[in-house]
Structure 1
Amino acid sequence: MEDVTQRLDALVARLAAAGWLTQEPVRAALRGVPRHLFVPPVAWTGDGGRVHRRTDPERWLDLAYGDDAIITQLDDGATDLDTGQGRFTSSLSAPSTVVSLLELLDVEPGHRVLDVGTGTGWTAALLSRLAGAENVTSVEIDPQVSERAAANLKAAGCSPRLLVEDGAQGWAPGAPYDRVHATCAVARVPYAWVEQTRPGGVIVAPYDPGFGSSHEVRLVVLPDGTAIGRFTGYASYMMMRSQRHPEWDDFLSEATRSTTFVDPRTLGYAPAGADLAMGAALPGVRARGIHDGDRYTLRLWGPDSWATARYEPGREVYEVEQAGSRALWDLAVSAYFAWVVQRSPGRDRFGVTVTPDGDHIWLDQPVN
């Protein structure tokens, strides 16, 4: 137990020194909910080898109290975690990202909290410490994940309400909520969360529309049934299952070929503010860069169109391919330079309004 205490103290000290941990209630919750109780017997961060608690307990504890996510599921449970091969579909989130979202949530004792994506149960346990377990409802779409979380929470002495439900629908019987906290990323904020949160209530979630960066978003629900807020920082989480982005495929449609003087890396390496601007101009479009040695290809794709732009060293112009109903490279370039004309605003100048019709991204002031 002394080893656990020392490691927990060191984790708390690192998070505080890095500026992640500033609120005493969150600090107390971290100390009250030992993270190792939520780490599987074989710990793996996605890099390096897997560490077994039985054969290497010291390294296992080091991972438990490090600041890395620990992978707990591959391919929705279809692939054995020991293979190390497959899509990451569930994890124990990194402490710094968990603390960042909890501090944005600003939970008070007695707040009624909806936790979307139970996962290992660690965040539900932290929320139980902050609000009281009787006030926390945690929903998880995967029955096996929920079952393991229940065992973890029991070992930790926490008893929030656990439900196997689709978090995109919230859980109306527990409404109205004072706080909604998501541990999975969303491309669109489910309006059910807004409907089920009382006016003045707060929604905090990782926001990943698919174009480059992903973001923390903090929303406040208004009396008119909308929610409004800003993007506060970076957050990387696994996507909500019902909102997963389509993967790149080998598109068969005939493409139009052209060249461009714009280096594809200009868009591909653009900061978060540019990603928000381009994503708002191209809703439903995903952007990802692929490195091949010193070459770089920017891929853009959506339901009806795709494009690639390729950088190669020594070239003065770069090859572009576009297909479908929209010229995605041309639209992305226009959106990027419109962002430049606006003096390259950062992520913190962008916000979002959530209505029954969807999400509406704005710069500086909400668009009426």
Structure 2
Amino acid sequence: MSQAVIDAVRAVPRHLFIPDVGLVVEEDGAPYLIDKQADPCAWWDTVYSRSIIVTQLDDGATGLDALAGDSTSSASAPSTVADLLNHLRAEPGMRVLEIGTGTGYTAALLSRLVGDQGEVTSIEVDPAVAEQAAKNLAAAGLTPRLLIGDGALGRADGASYDRVHVTCGVREVPYAWVAQTRPSGVIVLPWHPGYGTSHALRLEVRDDGTAVGRIEGFAGYMMLRSQRPRPCENQAPGEERRHYRTALDPRALDQLGAGADLAIGALTGLRSHTSEGTDEDGAYVRVFVADPDDSRSWASATWRPGSVTYGVQQVGDRPVWDEVLQAYAQWVSWGEPHWRRFGVTVAPEGQWVWLDTPERVLTSA
């Protein structure tokens, strides 16, 4: 971690960006509320912990006290925030575009990193979230430029930027971000290709108008609103389903790691989702794979205790489960490359994943 990021984190009080009542979502365990008035000690302890604190559910339609719903704004885990800023390498005097103001905490850190001679422009799509962020930043004594709008469009009237910092997950990197970044400028974002793991991606803009970079780690964020996916499972319940058995334990496929996820996602273009629970037949782990552009093409494979083969059901004309198995075999034939060997190129005509060098492009069927 750079000393500059450490100093910025120490200089910006996180508690100024956390509401009196927040929803804590732990990786393992039930969500719970923190309330500054009811239990100030627990509130302060949580604010200065590694916890993600959700500040909005269902775009504001559901109160936090419901303890359930889609998280649509939050204070991200401090370690994840610091990691992405470390990859960004914002320096004094730079001009930075931030996509997704959220609570305003990251905009505050960016303001510290670029200093008085730099400039931070932050775009938030949700007016209520933006209004609260402005209050939080004012309490911290910081004045980045705050705008309400669709972050996917960037902000052309402020271009070109030295850095673009993204605080929402994206599947397709909007080319506007590349076009608005100067050559040799850097874009850091949570990349959510849809299959398996989500990644921290660092892109550097080239003179030819492309942006090229490698996977730097992991970063799970709420999706850019214009790129939110529909639920992966049970997409077309009315379609006729084909049932058969497979020898591949779906739990093993789900636990292959980020390298396999990157390869399978790039080679197939599919999305995945894993769920576990108990139904009338007992405990299960179920892996879904789906065509993101065709709700009629999907498959699921289910593990149950004691099984030596596993049930697969498939819907639609596209044999998506077979494609996943073929892509898995391809990844194995390459020597099971680690996620650090993968990268992404973004160009006006689209984006693609590569292995080892930008010339070795992985394409979906």
Question: Structure 1 counterpart of 2:41, which letter?
Answer: E
Aligned equivalents of 1:165, 1:191: Cα separation in 2: 17
Structure 2 equivalent of residue 191 of structure 1: 175
After the TM superposition, which of the residue ranges 114-123 and 46-55 deviates more from structure 2?
46-55
Q: Give, in whole Å, the separation in 1 of the partners of 2:223 and 2:209.
A: 25
CA RMSD of aligned residues (A): 1.3
- Aligned partner of 2:139 in structure 1 is 155
Aligned to 1:336: 328
SS of equivalent to 1:245: coil
Partner of 1:275 in structure 2?
Answer: 261
Counterpart residue number, 2:252: 266
Q: How far, CA to CA, are the matches of 2:126 and 2:227 in structure 1?
A: 15
1:227 aligns with 2:227: no
SS in 2 for 1:153: helix
Per-residue deviation at 1:43?
2.5
Q: Check if 1:74 corresponds to 2:60.
A: no
Q: CA deviation at 1:143?
A: 0.5
Secondary structure at the aligned position of 1:86 is classed as coil
Aligned counterpart in structure 1 of residue 305 of structure 2, from 313, 320, 334 = 313
Alpha-carbon distance between aligned partners in 2 of 1:161 and 1:325, rounded to the nearest angstrom: 50
- Following superposition, the deviation at residue 39 of structure 1 comes to 0.4
| Higher mean C-alpha displacement, 292-301 vs 153-162 | 292-301
Q: Is the 8 A contact 2:24 2:34 kept in 1?
A: no
**Shift in Å, 1:331:** 0.2
Percent identity over paired residues: 51
How does 1:115-134 map onto structure 2 within 5 Å? 115-132=98-115
Aligned residues: 346
For residue 347 of structure 1, what is the amino acid of its counterpart? Answer: W
Aligned match of 1:288? 273
Deviates more, 1:199-208 or 1:321-330: 321-330
Q: 5+ unaligned residues in a row in structure 1: which ranges?
A: 1-21
Partners of 1:220 and 1:227 within 8 A in 2: yes
Q: Secondary structure at the match of 2:32?
A: coil
Q: How does 1:81-100 map to 2 (within 5 A)?
A: 81-100=64-83
Question: Partner of 2:300: helix, strand, or coil?
Answer: strand
Match of 1:25 in 2: 4
Structure 1 residue 314: Cα displacement: 2.6
The residue identity in structure 2 corresponding to 1:323 is V
Structure 2 partner of 1:298 = 287
Q: Within 2, Cα distance between the matches of 1:77 and 1:353? A: 35
Pair 1:346 & 2:343 matched: no
Residues 94-143 of structure 1, C-alpha deviations (whole Å, 9 max, x = no match): 10000000000001101110010000000000000001365100000000
| Structure with the bigger percentage of helix | 1
AA aligned opposite 1:188: E
Cα distance, 1:249 vs structure 2: 5.0
Q: Is the 8 A contact 1:268 1:288 kept in 2?
A: no
Determine helix, strand or coil for the equivalent of 1:201. Answer: strand
CA contact (8 A) 1:245 1:286 kept: no
For 2:161, which of 168, 177, 182 is the aligned residue?
Answer: 177
The answer to whether the 8 A contact 2:233-2:288 is kept is: no
Which is worse superposed, 240-249 or 187-196?
240-249
1:98 match: secondary structure: helix
